[in-house]
């Protein structure tokens, strides 16, 4: 569907597309769920930034959902308009909907995660809720990903390029390592309970 303009007038494989859209909705739900799960903890460090993180994740989920609806609309056009309808009109409409989805992919899962990394990385880095090298990867990767996304918006960079790959790697490692660390180790209890200055109050060292 994404690469073939004639998909909307062909036999198509709507089941695979719908399953892909469903998985994208699961992804959008997870965006909100992870922010909601972390909010009670990170709000102790800075409530304004914590609210900003939740808002950013909700915005990411909303943009992903717009992309999903666009693709499902193409499925509807293909199912309802394969007979008795001008094929060129269907192709034009489908290409417009796919273009909407492509922009949502750039803004939602591509640009907004950089903002998420800046907010959550700072909230975890300062009070040492996790080893500092983990949020540091997010804080380093966020500006790179933002630059990659912005240059792609202006046609300077291609979304599939060496720059994009380099910019994505630190964010990938940041999200992967944070997820694994929280799954198997969890946050530091003293820092969680004591707020941003708890490490100094309890005599904890740097990680």
pLDDT in tens, 35-58: 999 999 999 999 999 999 999 999
Q: Encoding tokens for residue 7?
A: 């998909």
What's the rounded Cα separation, in Å, for the pair 117 and 121? 5
The whole-number pLDDT of residue 205 equals 38
The separation between CA 109 and the C-alpha centre of its own chain, rounded to angstroms, equals 3
The whole-number pLDDT of residue 126 equals 87
The whole-number pLDDT of residue 83 equals 58
Break the chain down into helix, strand, coil percent, rounded to 5. Answer: 80, 0, 20
pTM over 0.85: yes
The whole-number pLDDT of residue 162 equals 84
DSSP letters of 143-170?
Answer: HHHHHHHHHHHTTSS-SSSHHHHHHHHH
**Enclosing H/E stretch for 124:** helix 112-125
How many other CB atoms are there within 10 angstroms of residue 21's CB atom?
Answer: 19
The whole-number pLDDT of residue 26 equals 97
How many other CB atoms are there within 10 angstroms of residue 24's CB atom?
Answer: 20
The whole-number pLDDT of residue 18 equals 96
Mean pLDDT of the chain: 88
What stretches in the chain show pLDDT beneath 70?
A: 81-85, 190-207
The whole-number pLDDT of residue 84 equals 58
């Amino acid at each position: 569907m994404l690469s073939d303009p004639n998909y909307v007038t062909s036999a198509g494989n709507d089941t695979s597309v719908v399953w892909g859209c469903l998985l994208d909705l699961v992804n959008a739900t997870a965006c909100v769920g992870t922010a909601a799960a972390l909010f009670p903890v990170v709000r102790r460090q800075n409530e304004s930034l914590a609210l900003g993180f939740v808002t950013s994740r909700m915005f990411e989920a909303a943009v992903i959902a717009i992309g999903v609806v666009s693709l499902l609309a193409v499925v509807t056009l293909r199912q309802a308009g394969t007979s008795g309808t001008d094929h060129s009109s269907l192709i034009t409409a489908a290409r417009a909907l796919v273009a909407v989805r492509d922009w949502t992919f750039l803004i939602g899962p591509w640009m907004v995660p950089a903002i998420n990394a800046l907010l959550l990385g700072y909230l975890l880095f300062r009070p040492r809720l996790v080893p500092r090298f983990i949020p540091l990867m997010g804080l380093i990767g966020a500006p790179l990903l933002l630059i990659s996304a912005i240059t792609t918006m202006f046609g300077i960079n291609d979304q599939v390029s060496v720059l994009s790959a380099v910019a994505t790697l630190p964010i990938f490692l940041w999200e992967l390592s944070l997820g694994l660390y929280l799954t198997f180790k969890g946050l530091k209890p003293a820092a969680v309970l004591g707020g941003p200055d708890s490490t100094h109050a309890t005599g904890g060292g740097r990680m």
